[in-house]
Chain A
Amino acid sequence: MASASQPSLIASLKVQRRVLAALLVRELLTRYGRHNIGFLWLFVEPMIFTLGVTALWTATKSVHGSDLPIVAFALTGYSSVLLWRNMPGRCIGALMGNLALMYHRNIRALDIYAARIIIEFAGATISFFTLSLVFILGGWISPPEDFLTVAAAWFLTAWFGAALAITLGALSHEYELVDKLWHPASYLLFPLSGAAFLVSALPPLGREIVLYIPVVHGVEMVRDGYFGTKVEAIYDPGYLITCSLVLTVVALIATRWVEKRLTPQ
Chain B
Amino acid sequence: MITVDRVSKDYRTRTGPKRVLDNVSFTLVQGERLGVLGRNGAGKSTLIRLVSGAERPTSGRITRGMSVSWPLAFGGAFQSQLTGVDNVRFISRLYGQDPDHNLAFVEEFSELGQYLREPVMNYSSGMRARLAFAISMIIEFDCFLIDEIAAVGDARFHERCNYELFDKRGDRAMMIISHDPGYLRDHCNRWALLDAGQLTPFDDFEAAHDHFLAQMRVGETVRAAAQPFSRRMAAIDSLRRVAHEDEHFMALVRQADAARDQHDWAAAEVGYAAALSLHPYERSYWVQLGHVTREQGRRVRAEIAYRTACAFGEPVRLLAPFIAAVEHPDSAGPPTSAATPDGGETRRQPPGYPDLAVLSAFAGGTERLSDDAALSLLRRPGAIEDVLARMLEDDGVQAPPVTLPDSIAIVPGDAPFRREWLEDLARLAGARQEGLEAALSLGDAPLAALRRAGGLEGWALPASHAMEAARA
Contacts and interface: CB of A to CB of B under 8 A. Distances in A.
Interface string A13-39: 011001101100110011001000000
Contact of A103 (B11, B54, B64, B65): B54
Interface string B429-466: 00000000000000000000000000000000000000
Interface stretch (A104-112, A200-208, A245-253): A104-112
A254 to B, nearest CB: 15
A30 B119 CA distance: 11
A260 interface: yes
A105 B53 contact: yes
Interface stretch (A1-9, A63-71, A85-93, A186-194): A1-9
B65 A4 contact: yes
B118 to A, nearest CB: 13
Contacts of B56: 259-260, 262
A22 B79 contact: no
A100 interface: yes
Interface in A87-144: 100-107
A120 to B, nearest CB: 19
A262 B86 CA distance: 26
A24 to B, nearest CB: 9
Contact of B94 (A14, A22, A30, A261): A22
B93 A21 contact: yes
Contacts of A19: 94
Interface residues of A, number: 30
B55 A30 contact: no
B93 A103 contact: no
Nearest to A6: B63
A29 B82 contact: yes
B54 A264 contact: yes
A1 B55 contact: no
A1 B94 contact: no
Nearest to B75: A100
A263 interface: yes
A1 B77 contact: no
Interface string B40-80: 00000000010011111010000111001011001011110
B426 to A, nearest CB: 41
A21 B99 CA distance: 14
A60 interface: no
B1 interface: yes
B172 interface: no
Given A1-B3, A21-B93, A25-B90, A101 B82 contact: no
Contacts of A5: 63-65
B94 A100 contact: no
Given A1-B1, A5-B63, A26-B82, A102 B54 contact: yes
A30 B78 CA distance: 11
A103 B76 contact: yes
Interface in B242-271: none
Contact of B52 (A26, A100, A103, A259): A103
Contact of B82 (A2, A30, A102, A265): A30
B142 to A, nearest CB: 11
Contacts of A259: 56
A107 B95 CA distance: 11
Given A5-B65, A25-B93, A262 B77 contact: no
Given A1-B3, A18-B93, A21-B93, A105 B81 contact: no
Interface SS of chain A: helix
Given A4-B65, A19-B94, A29-B82, A103 B89 contact: no
Contacts, number: 73
B26 to A, nearest CB: 15
B52 A105 contact: yes
B96 interface: yes
B94 A29 contact: no
A18 B94 contact: yes
B90 A262 contact: no
A265 B45 CA distance: 11
A25 to B, nearest CB: 7
Name the residue in A15, A22, A260 with the highest tally of chain B Cβ atoms < 10 Å from its Cβ. A22
Nearest to A4: B65
B27 to A, nearest CB: 11
B78 A100 contact: yes
B78 to A, nearest CB: 7
A22 B55 CA distance: 21
Interface in B189-207: none
Nearest to A27: B79
Contacts of B96: 14-15, 18
A63 B86 CA distance: 49
A25 B3 CA distance: 35
Contacts of A264: 49, 54-55, 76
A18 B64 CA distance: 21
B71 A103 contact: yes
A77 B377 CA distance: 93
B65 A1 contact: yes
B353 to A, nearest CB: 46
A261 B90 CA distance: 26
A206 B70 CA distance: 56
A2 B63 contact: yes
B3 to A, nearest CB: 7
List the 8 closest pairs (A to B, CB-CB), nearest first: A105-B53, A22-B93, A100-B76, A22-B94, A103-B70, A4-B65, A100-B77, A264-B54
8 contacts: A1-B1, A26-B86, A101-B77, A103-B49, A107-B94, A261-B12, A264-B76, A265-B76
Given A5-B65, A264-B54, 11 more contacts: A18-B93, A18-B94, A22-B93, A22-B94, A25-B90, A29-B82, A100-B78, A103-B49, A103-B71, A105-B54, A107-B94
